[in-house]
Structure 1
Amino acid sequence: MLASFVHGFLLALGLILPLGVQNVFVFNQGALQPKLRNALPVVITAALCDTLLLTLAILGVSVLILSVPLIKSILLVAGVLFLLYMGYVTWRSQPSDRQGREAESYSARKQITYALSVSLLNPHALMDTVGVIGTSSLSYSGTEKWIFALSCILVSWVWFFALALAGRFIGSLSSSDRFIRYLNKISACIIWASAVLMIYLW
């Protein structure tokens, strides 16, 4: 049982660590929101989406969904369009002071909508979850399989809370306005690069 927990933990950590659109968005909201609790909608939504995807991958349901070409094409088109828009919005974000940063922070509804989009409209994230987590889960059965699943889910929840907390710490520094501006530019480039990569690999 311990082996399945450690396996799931390390595997999920390896998949979630790279700087992607979802991570950038959670970190940004942690930095831009006036208080950490204001970033909870994006944290909880991202973690719930990961929980859903991981559960579907381990149950094998997501393999069936992504095997339908039309569904995969719709996800790709929607994902590319959304990423291009998100990159544009992020690039234009220019908070010059604390009030400016608060104005650039998203409402709870926007946080939830964008978090759903960057979590569920990314075919490559879905394929990674299916290909790596789903395939690895085949090594286990019964209780061990669910311990493996729970360890993967635990990583997601802890990671997103830690990411928002790190963003809030950076955002609370009085000299962080320049950092936030640079972060927005870098984030926009990462988002656009993800969209281009999706088109290239289509």
Structure 2
Amino acid sequence: MSTYLAGFSLGLSLILAIGSQNAFVLKQGLKKRHVFIVCLVCAVSDGILISLGVAGFGTVVKQFPTIEIVARYGGAAFLAIYALLSFKSAFTETHALEAEAETESSLFKTIAICLAFTWLNPHVYLDTVILLGSVSTQYHPEQFQFALGAVIASFVFFFSLGYGARVLAPVFENPKAWKIFEFFVGVIMLALALSLVANV
């Protein structure tokens, strides 16, 4: 049980910070748009990466740094584009939750964006594959319990964030609040994109 709790607490602490993936989940939750599938895609993706890390994939990433480089520049480009779209939305569109609900994005497009936020983010590999993978070696032969704790932490966090966002819905009935949120998301995305390039 202690090994499971160690994996759960470390896994949860690594994804608590507001990042591109979390901001996207929060945004989908506020719009009540494909919330379940978005939360599921994020949690399952984390689960796959954590499992790969515990299984030893982290050593492969270290041996082939090209994987990290491709993810870094691809992720930076994606985040920069999404930031510009958020800024455009903040300054040029009229916002309200009702209006946002009417402009429904396709499920395929939503899943594609969600996957990009997850798999094009080098920090995800650092946290799940390398960090959790290396820490799990301390709990041998109970690494499975450690990984299970971290995976469940991802499910708890993403579903709580996605469905908990509805508590904030009354605030976002005000179009100005939505504009501020779009601008805030844009700032987060742009800052993360710049950090990826600056850390080369």
1:104 deviates by 4.7
Cα gap change, 1:42 to 1:133, in 2 (>3 Å): same
Aligned to 2:60: 64
What is the CA–CA distance in structure 1 between the aligned matches of 2:36 and 2:68, rounded to whole Å? Answer: 30
Aligned to 2:110: 111
What is the CA–CA distance in structure 1 between the aligned matches of 2:171 and 2:68, rounded to whole Å? Answer: 43
Aligned to 2:75: 79
What is the CA–CA distance in structure 2 between the aligned matches of 1:116 and 1:67, rounded to whole Å? Answer: 25
The more displaced of 190-199 and 57-66 is 57-66
SS at match of 1:139: helix
| 1:148 paired to 2:139 | no
Instruction: Please show how residues 33-52 of structure 1 align to structure 2 within 5 Å.
Output: 33=32, 38-52=34-48
Cα gap change, 1:54 to 1:60, in 2 (>3 Å): same
Aligned to 2:135: 136
What is the CA–CA distance in structure 2 between the aligned matches of 1:81 and 1:129, rounded to whole Å? Answer: 22
What is the CA–CA distance in structure 2 between the aligned matches of 1:39 and 1:195, rounded to whole Å? Answer: 25
What is the CA–CA distance in structure 2 between the aligned matches of 1:69 and 1:23, rounded to whole Å? Answer: 26
What is the CA–CA distance in structure 2 between the aligned matches of 1:177 and 1:155, rounded to whole Å? Answer: 33
Aligned to 2:194: 196
Instruction: Please show how residues 5-44 of structure 1 align to structure 2 within 5 Å.
Output: 5-33=4-32, 38-44=34-40
TM-score, normalised via structure 1 length:
0.89
Unpaired stretches in structure 1, ≥5 consecutive residues? none
Deviations 1:143-169 (A, max 9, x none): x21111111000101111110112223
SS at match of 2:139: coil
Please say if residues 31 and 171 of structure 1, whose CA atoms lie closer than 8 Å, have aligned partners that are also in contact.
Answer: yes
Among the aligned pairs, what percent are the same residue? 27
The more displaced of 15-24 and 63-72 is 63-72
What is the CA–CA distance in structure 1 between the aligned matches of 2:101 and 2:62, rounded to whole Å? Answer: 39
TM-score, normalised via structure 2 length:
0.90
Unpaired stretches in structure 2, ≥5 consecutive residues? none
1:95 deviates by 4.5
The more displaced of 22-31 and 96-105 is 96-105
Amino acid in structure 1 at the alignment position of 2:87: W
What is the CA–CA distance in structure 1 between the aligned matches of 2:88 and 2:98, rounded to whole Å? Answer: 16
Aligned to 2:86: 90
What is the CA–CA distance in structure 2 between the aligned matches of 1:172 and 1:179, rounded to whole Å? Answer: 10
Cα gap change, 1:189 to 1:156, in 2 (>3 Å): same
User: How many residues get paired?
Assistant: 197
